[in-house]
Amino acid sequence: MTTNWLGKVWRPLIAILLFIGLWEAATRLFAIEKWLLPAPSDIVMEAKSVIPVFMPHVGSTVQLSVAGFLIGTTVGLGVATVLHLMPRVRETFFPFIILSQNMPIIVLAPLLVIWFGFNPLPKLIIITLACFFPIAVSALGGFTQTNRELVHYMKMMGANKAQLFWKLELPHAIPAIFSGLKIAGTYSVMAAVVSEWLGAQKGIGVFMTLAASSFRTSRVFVAIIVAMIISLAFFGLILLLEKFFIRWQQKGENA
**pLDDT for residue 71:** 95
The amino acid present at 163, given as its one-letter code, is Q
Q: Are the C-beta atoms of residues 219 and 178 closer than 8 Å to each other?
A: no
Judge if pTM exceeds 0.75: yes
Among candidate residues 92, 73, 58, 112, the one with its CA nearest the CA of residue 231: 58
Cα–Cα distance between 146 and 24 in angstroms, integer? 51
Is the model more confident about 167 or about 110?
167
User: What does the pLDDT look like over 208-231, one tens digit per residue?
Assistant: 999 998 889 999 999 999 999 999
Instruction: Output the furthest CA–CA distance in the chain (Å, rounded).
Output: 76
Among the listed residues 112, 130, 110, the one whose alpha carbon sits nearest the alpha carbon of residue 190: 130
Q: Sorting pLDDT into bands at 50, 70 and 90, what band is 202? A: confident
Closest residue by Cα to residue 225 from 46, 66, 11: 46
Query: Residues for the chain: how many in total?
Result: 255
Question: Per-residue pLDDT tens for 135-187?
Answer: 999 999 999 888 888 888 888 888 888 888 888 899 889 989 999 999 999 89
Residues 220 and 212: their CA atoms lie apart, in Å, by 6
Asked if the model's pLDDT at residue 3 lies above 80, the reply is no
Which pLDDT belongs to residue 251? 66
At residue 161, the pLDDT reads 85
Mean pLDDT of the chain: 87
CA end-to-end span of the chain: 26
Per-residue pLDDT reduced to its tens digit, 27-81? 999 988 888 999 999 999 999 998 888 999 999 999 999 999 999 999 999 999 9
Closest CA to 60 of 198, 210, 200, 187: 200
Q: What is the mean pLDDT of residues 129-137?
A: 90
What confidence category does residue 102 fall into, taking pLDDT thresholds of 50, 70 and 90?
confident
* CA-closest candidate to residue 112, choices 128, 133, 98: 128
The amino acid present at 102, given as its one-letter code, is N
Q: Are 138 and 77 in contact (CB under 8 A)?
A: no
Minimal CA–CA distance to 65: which of 193, 226, 153, 228? 193
What is the mean predicted confidence (pLDDT) over 185-190?
91
pLDDT at 77: 94
Q: Which of 18-22, 98-102, 200-204 has the lowest mean pLDDT?
A: 98-102
